[in-house]
Amino acid sequence: MPIYTLQINNRTVEVEADPDTPLLWVLRDELELKGTKFGCGKAQCGACTVHLNGAAVRSCVLPVSALEYAQITTIEGLSADGSHPVQQAWMEVDVPQCGYCQAGQIMSAAALIERNSNPSDKDIAAAMSGNICRCGTYPRIKQAVLLAAKYARK
């Protein structure tokens, strides 16, 4: 099996994997980064969202062979201590219910706020509607995104 060199959370790592292995399973099974979640495997639910060169992408459909030299950030790389404004806002607003979708939600929100720290309701809806939450935490996600944007502006 080929060996790939990846840039994950500002570290350089080497992994041996089949070329078509989705990044999701490389993160979870090879690198023990379990924060990125498996939800659908089909780019439908957003549970597996990570940042690829700063943009929110679905890691379940990204083959590892396409990712050399790309900058990848996972939920673990956002901040280990929860100090990122989006993580802060998520905890303060008490968004999670079961919590399973939330890493993906946070990653989508973080990518949004990174490029737009004053998002409109429409911007938020566009950025967050790719992430499903079966627990129905959407009303609090809205509050948390607005709060995170406020923190980011400071």
Partner 1 sequence: MISKVDRRDFIKITGIAGAGLLLGFPLKSKASGLDAGEGVFSPNAFLQISSDGSIVIWAKNPEIGQGVKTSLPMIIAEELEADWQKVEIRQAGLDERMGSQFAGGSTAIKNNWETLRMAGATARVMLVAAAATRWDVAYAECKASNAIVTHEPTGRKLTYGELADAASQQAIPPIVDLKQPRDFKLLGQSIPGVDNKAIATGQPIFGLDAKPKGMLTAVIARSPVYGGKVKKILDSEALKVSGVVQIVEITPTENPTMLVSGVAVIAKNTWAAIKGREALQIEWEPGAGAEESSTRIKNQFLQNVAQKGSIPLRDDGNVDEAFAEAAKTVEATYEVPFLYHATMEPMNYIADVKADKVECWGPTQVPGRVAGIAEMLTGIPRANVKVNQSRTGGGFGRRLMADYAAEAIFLSKAIQQPVQVVWTREDDLLNDFFRPNGIYKLKASIDNTGHISGWHINASTTSRGMFSGSRDSPHTTEVFPDGFPAGFVPNFRMEYSPVQSVVPRGAWRAPGHNATAFVDQTFLDELATAAGKDPVAMRLEILGKEEKQMHYRDHGGPFYNTKRLRQVIELVAEKSGWYQRAPQGIYRGFAAHFMFGAYVAEVLELTMSASGVPQVVRVHVAVDCGIVVNRAGALAQIEGGIVDGLGAALYGGVTIENGAAAQRNFDTYRLIRYKEAPEVITYLVDSTENPEGLGEMSLPPVSAALCNAIFAATGRRIYKLPVKDNELFQNI
Q: Are 89 and 137 in contact (CB under 8 A)?
A: no
Burial 26-63 (b: 16+ CB within 10 A, else e): bbbebbebebbbbbeeeeebbbbbbbbeeebbbbbebe
Q: Residues 13, 30, 35, 43: which binds ligand FES (CB under 6 A)?
A: 43
The answer to whether residue 30 forms part of the interface with partner 1 (CB under 8 A) is: yes
The answer to whether residue 35 forms part of the interface with ligand FES (CB under 6 A) is: no
What are the tokens at 40?
A: 């659908």
Site for partner 1 in 6-25 (CB under 8 A): 17-18, 21-22, 25
The answer to whether residue 4 forms part of the interface with partner 1 (CB under 8 A) is: no
What are the tokens at 37?
A: 């979640």
Reduced to 3 states, what is the DSSP secondary structure of residue 150?
helix
Q: If residue 55 lies in a helix (H) or strand (E), which one and from where to where?
A: strand 55-58
Taking CB under 6 A as the binding criterion, the range among 6-14, 45-53, 82-90, 113-121 that sits at the site for ligand FES is 45-53
Q: Enumerate binding residues for ligand FES (CB under 6 A).
A: 38-41, 43-48, 58, 60, 96-102, 133-135, 137
Q: Enumerate binding residues for partner 1 (CB under 8 A).
A: 1, 17-18, 21-22, 25, 28-30, 32-42, 44-45, 47, 74-76, 78-82, 87, 90-92, 94-103, 106, 124-126, 128-142
